[in-house]
Amino acid sequence: MYDKLLTVSDAAKLLGISASTLRRLEENGEVKTYGLKVVYTPGGQRRYLADEIQRIFTQTGFAHKLGFGTKAAILVRDVTYAYMDSGSTLAIDTPFDKEGLHRLLTLAAQCGLPTVFTRTIYRPDHSFSWLWGKKYPFITTLREDAYLNQPDEALASLSFMRNYSTCYASDFYGSDLEIWLKQQGIDTIILGGATASGSIRATAIEAFQMGFHVMIPREVIGDRSQSLLDFTLLDLNARYADVLNLQEVTDWLTTSSLELNKKNMLHCQHDELAK
């Protein structure tokens, strides 16, 4: 009976999440949402039924990866004091690698890739913003000039190609961002910031619908609780994006940049010979 069971580590690997994340979902009783149940061996060890994992693995898309395209842009949302300062009512309560985000953005700039910073603002004279504030009153603190709505110090030394504010949940809605990115040959979007279950999710889904490869380095995504973050990343990874380690993303940026420079050099050499 127990020869068709998987360890927590093996099950997590198949599902595309970490073993620690799967254990947290177990502790919260949330694995049942995905049609999974924990089986205990006679020795008391936790296991998962291989058939159940395989079913989810096949049916929900965990088995497939989008993969990177050819040229990426980095979109950062709401890395402001409102979300990063622990004293704020909007603050995230999950680990967030600010230094890692800084390295990612610095590398993107070195590679000549577009970087975009977007922050949420509240405007009572804007119909959707007013409606959002009615549903979620805390967001009314995010006025354009409010201290809490200024970029976090982690971004202080960085400059972005585009820096703008929006009343909407998605970076794309109501803007020309899609056109601007596609004019530069961008086919891959790398997301960072807060919150996973809010603006990151909204932006990821809209970007995917627009035909972009969406990449989410988990270390630079935050939310107000670990279980909410885990569930959101699990679902995004299943249907709309690739959730990766930050190192995987930076490795690809470095490699793709070298390949692009090589192609440009060959193209220039070809043009010189053709003269």
Q: 267 pLDDT exceeds 60?
A: no
242-257: pLDDT as tens digits: 999 999 999 999 998 7
Question: What are the DSSP calls for the chain, one per residue?
Answer: -GGGEE-HHHHHHHHTS-HHHHHHHHHTT-GGGGT--EEE-TT--EEEEHHHHHHHHHHSSTT------S-EEEEEE--BHHHH-TTSTT---S---HHHHHHHHHHHHHTT--EEEEEE---TTSHHHHHHHHH-GGGGG--TT-GGGSBPGGGTT---SEEEEESSSSSSTTSSHHHHHHHTT--EEEEEEE-IIIIIHHHHHHHHHTT-EEEEEGGGEE-SSHHHHHHHHHHHHHHT-EEE-HHHHHHHHHHHHHHHHHHHHHHHHHHHHH-
Q: 4 pLDDT exceeds 80?
A: no
Q: Residue 3 has what pLDDT?
A: 47
Q: How far apart are CA 187 and CA 199, in angstroms?
A: 20
Tokens of 218: 């988990």
Tokens of 53: 């994992």
Same fold, 2-59 and 72-256: no
Q: Which of 181, 213, 62 is nearest to 115 (CA)?
A: 181
Strand-pairing partners, residue 221, are 193
Q: Residue 43 has what pLDDT?
A: 83
Mean pLDDT, range 145-150, rounded to an integer: 92
Q: Residue 195 has what pLDDT?
A: 95
Q: 54 pLDDT exceeds 80?
A: no
Class of domain 2-59 (CATH, top level) = mainly alpha
Of 259 and 92, the one with more pLDDT:
92
Q: Which of 152, 157, 85 is nearest to 119 (CA)?
A: 152
69-106: pLDDT as tens digits: 999 999 999 999 999 999 999 999 999 999 999 999 99
Looking at every residue in the chain, the average pLDDT score rounds to 86
Mean pLDDT, range 51-65, rounded to an integer: 64
Q: What is the CATH number of domain 72-256?
A: 3.40.50.850
Q: Residue 21 has what pLDDT?
A: 85
Domain ranges in the chain? 2-59, 72-256
If phi > 0 it is left, if psi is from -120 to 50 it is alpha, else beta; for residue 49 that is beta
Compute and round to an integer the Cα radius of gyration of the chain: 21
8-21: pLDDT as tens digits: 887 777 677 788 88
